[in-house]
Amino acid sequence: MNDSPLKVAVILGSTRDGRLGTVVSNWIVGLLDQRGDMEADLIDLVETPLPTVFPVLGEPPASQEARDLLAAVSPRMAAADAFVIVTPEYNRSFPAALKNAIDWHGPEWHAKPVAFVSYGGFSAGTRAVEQLRLVLAELHAVTIRDSIGFQRVWEQFDGEGRAVDPAVEPATKVMLDRLAWWAQALREAKAVRPYAA
């Protein structure tokens, strides 16, 4: 049994100017950093943009620039045992930059668990999460039932980036405990029998 900490890639899906996603992603990374069983790696799609022009199916990217952009993200996703996606809701769905990051990767998602932290106005980003579950099922990922959603996100964090609702951190602990269970179970299963998609 592999008892080394689980590597969790936290993907910040918003690339909008003035985004609140950095507050939300830093908050979840902080909670992950408090755990002894998980290590967080924040993948910010502003800092690590990906190409938007795809190569012919089955071919590698044609340009060196595209290969360099992918090299900043793809190995980190491949090394992850699990993912936490931090997403806002744009027009009843999730951001285009996040879909682009998902679509550039296939095996990196296979047989790995994914948890969600969403945010927005009235809906708390839940419609974005509903659509992400469908997309990730196609990529053989395992989405965690529990998720965290921040309604009226601009009111949900104090000046230090802490969640103001005392119920949020216990609920997040439950979500991360379940993410850890699935990540460990799938890591052990893949060590015995590689996953074939």
Which regions of 13-167 does DSSP assign to beta strands (E)? 38-44, 82-88, 113-119, 142-143, 148-150
As a whole-number percent, the residues of the chain with pLDDT over 70 amount to 99
3 is a domain residue: no
Count of CA atoms in the C-beta half-sphere (13 A) of 11: 26
35 is a domain residue: yes
Model confidence over 170-183: pLDDT tens digits? 999 999 999 999 99
Segments forming the whole domain that contains residue 109: 9-191
* pLDDT, average across residues 39-68: 94
Give the three-class secondary structure for 106.
coil
As a whole-number percent, the residues of the chain with pLDDT over 90 amount to 94
4 is a domain residue: no
155 is a domain residue: yes
pLDDT surpasses 80 at 1: no
User: How many domains, the chain?
Assistant: 1
Residue 161 zone, left/alpha/beta (φ > 0; ψ -120 to 50; rest): left
Quote the pTM value.
0.96
196 is a domain residue: no
Model confidence over 32-45: pLDDT tens digits? 999 999 999 999 99
| Residue recorded with tokens 């080394």 | 4
What is the overall mean pLDDT for the chain? 96
Q: What is the CATH number of the domain that holds 80?
A: 3.40.50.360
160 is a domain residue: yes
66 is a domain residue: yes
* pLDDT, average across residues 14-42: 97
Burial class, 14, CB count within 10 angstroms (exposed 0-12 / middle 13-18 / buried 19+): buried
Model confidence over 84-139: pLDDT tens digits? 999 999 999 999 999 999 999 999 999 999 999 999 999 999 999 999 999 999 99
pLDDT score at 38? 98
Q: How far apart are CA 106 and CA 136, in angstroms?
A: 10
152 is a domain residue: yes
